[in-house]
């Protein structure tokens, strides 16, 4: 799902790299996606994205055991 969209890949990458953006994204993923300029299709795909995956990528799996 995420790999099929350049916009989604960019927003996830930015969330991984930028702590402030990540906090904003996790607090309001759909609002952030709209501000980021994602299309309606991309926002719908994002709605299906499990934000816990992002947290595990950044914090590591042991933080969620």
Domain residue ranges of the chain, discontinuous segments joined by +: 2-57
Centre a 10 Å sphere on the Cβ of residue 10 and count the other Cβ atoms it contains.
Answer: 14
Q: What is the residue-level pLDDT of the chain in tens, covering all 65 positions?
A: 444 578 888 888 898 899 999 899 888 888 988 898 888 888 888 888 877 887 777 777 765 54
Per the document, the length of the chain is 65
Would you call 25 exposed, middle or buried from its count of C-beta atoms within 10 A (0-12, 13-18, 19+)? buried
pTM of the model: 0.69
């Amino acid at each position: 799902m995420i790999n099929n969209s350049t916009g989604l890949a960019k927003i996830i990458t930015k969330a991984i790299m930028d702590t402030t953006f990540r906090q904003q994204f996790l607090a309001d993923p759909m609002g952030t996606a709209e501000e980021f300029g994602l299309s309606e299709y991309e926002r719908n795909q994002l709605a299906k994205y499990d934000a816990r995956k992002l947290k595990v990528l950044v914090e590591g799996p042991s933080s969620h055991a």
